[in-house]
């Protein structure tokens, strides 16, 4: 029991050392994108909703084509002078697993992809409905 506890501490200490300022910046970018995706449908103007309707499918497409890894992770890898996909980057493709793991939920990558795609479809449909219902003022 003691050895397992020690191993956990060593792993946590190693993880803490690899989380630096650059990682914090890219995690902040991830958080901003998540907020935009989650709240963009609440925009009050047709132009903002139209931009959201164009950008959201691009986000979904890059997520699916990049194997569940955000392009933000790829840019972090490049900023560190590594390859586009870095198997040694333990944070690559784990943003939502880390976020959900903090509250005790351990989903698979397939479950995350399905749920996120369904949520983004609902956000997209809601934004489209809101955009259609906004009546421009008479000229």
How far is 115 from 131, CA to CA, in rounded Å? 24
Task: Classify residue 71: in a domain, yes or no.
Answer: yes
Structural domains of the chain, count: 1
Q: Which residue segment(s) compose the domain that 121 sits in? A: 22-133
What number of residues does the chain have? 139
Dihedral of the CA atoms 16, 101, 85, 32 (nearest 10)?
Answer: -90
Task: Classify residue 92: in a domain, yes or no.
Answer: yes
Tokens of 99: 């976020």
Output the pTM of the full model: 0.73
How far is 9 from 24, CA to CA, in rounded Å? 22
Task: Classify residue 66: in a domain, yes or no.
Answer: yes
- pLDDT values of the chain reduced to their tens digit, one per residue, 139 residues: 444 444 444 344 344 446 788 888 988 998 899 899 999 999 999 999 999 999 999 999 998 898 888 888 888 888 888 788 877 777 676 777 777 878 888 888 888 888 888 999 999 999 999 999 988 778 7
């Amino acid at each position: 029991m003691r050895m397992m506890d020690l191993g956990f501490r060593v792993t946590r200490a190693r993880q803490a050392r690899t989380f630096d300022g650059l990682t914090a910046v890219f995690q902040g970018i991830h958080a901003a994108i998540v907020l935009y995706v989650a709240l963009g449908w609440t925009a009050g103007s047709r132009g903002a909703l139209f931009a959201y309707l164009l950008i959201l499918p691009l986000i979904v497409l890059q997520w699916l084509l990049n194997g569940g890894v955000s392009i933000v992770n790829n840019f972090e890898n490049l900023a560190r002078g590594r390859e586009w996909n870095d198997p040694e980057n333990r944070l690559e493709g784990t943003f939502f697993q880390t976020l959900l793991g903090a509250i005790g939920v351990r989903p698979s990558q397939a479950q995350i992809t399905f749920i996120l795609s369904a949520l983004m479809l609902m956000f997209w449909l809601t934004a489209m409905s809101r955009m259609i219902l906004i009546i421009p003022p008479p000229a």
